[in-house]
Amino acid sequence: GESVGLHLPTLSVQEGDNSIINCAYSNSASDYFIWYKQESGKGPQFIIDIRSNMDKRQGQRVTVLLNKTVKHLSLQIAATQPGDSAVYFCAERARIQGAQKLVFGQGTRLTINP
Amino acid sequence: NAGVMQNPRHLVRRRGQEARLRCSPMKGHSHVYWYRQLPEEGLKFMVYLQKENIIDESGMPKERFSAEFPKEGPSILRIQQVVRGDSAAYFCASSQQLDRGYGYTFGSGTRLTVV
């Protein structure tokens, strides 16, 4: 389940199961969204993106769903593998205090149980 | 085609020293963004630059921090008189012209430790 404070929310799944990671974004005017994967000691790695005029986009083993009504984004990973263990961040492109920029969510740590 | 290159990967500074972090964007990318990440937290926007211009520095502390992206060479994030609270991972991202390119590519980061 989720926790608040300094610790990242954690999602534990069995290897081979599907994973669903959720994200609430803040700005209703955001026009572009990206999911990133970050492994320990590395920079964020692009997974999949979606524009605000779409509600679903599929990649290889990943699907992103966008619900603009409730400002919610989700990342579905099919047949989760050990290599999927990482922290996953959603990011929205928003104009906040100046120019458009990527604004990141808190992140969710995905752990895979063998 | 090399990705976003950041150096050094690790930087140790004593309190009061200066830290210089460098970022070379992807070839063809003219927009550079700097982010800071504390352990177990998300990435926090600091500054957005184009060549020779600071576009948005709303996330950067007013004192001791500065950034530049000269006509030639990498973008530099400079932290003067570092304090322990500056210890973090600093990431740089680059993108193409905003109206056309949507991809933002991140470097591997510089991990700054202030002792």
Q: Give the chain B residue nearest A90 (alpha carbons).
A: B42
CB contact (8 A) between residue B35 and residue A104: yes
Q: Phi/psi of residue B41, each to 5°?
A: -130, 170
- Between CA A90 and CA B60 the distance in angstroms is 22
Task: Please list the helix, strand and coil fractions of chain B in percent, rounded to the nearest 5, in that order.
Answer: 5, 50, 50
Contact A31, A43 (CB under 8 A): no
| Neighbouring residues of A12: CB distance < 8 A, sequence distance ≥ 6 | A110, A111, A112, A113
Q: Give the chain B residue nearest A86 (alpha carbons).
A: B40
Helix and strand numbers, DSSP H then E, in chain A: 0, 10
Residue A106: pLDDT band (50, 70, 90) is confident
Distance from CA of A44 to the nearest CA of B (A): 6
| Neighbouring residues of B72: CB distance < 8 A, sequence distance ≥ 6 | none
Tens of pLDDT, residue by residue over B82-95, are 999 999 999 999 98
Amino acid found at A2:
E
CB contact (8 A) between residue B40 and residue A7: yes
Tens of pLDDT, residue by residue over A20-49, are 999 999 888 898 999 999 999 999 999 999
| pLDDT of res. A3 | 30
Question: Is the pLDDT reported for residue A16 higher than 50?
Answer: yes
**DSSP-derived 3-state class of residue B61:** coil
Tokens of A110: 């995905």
CB contact (8 A) between residue B104 and residue A105: no
CB contact (8 A) between residue B98 and residue A100: yes
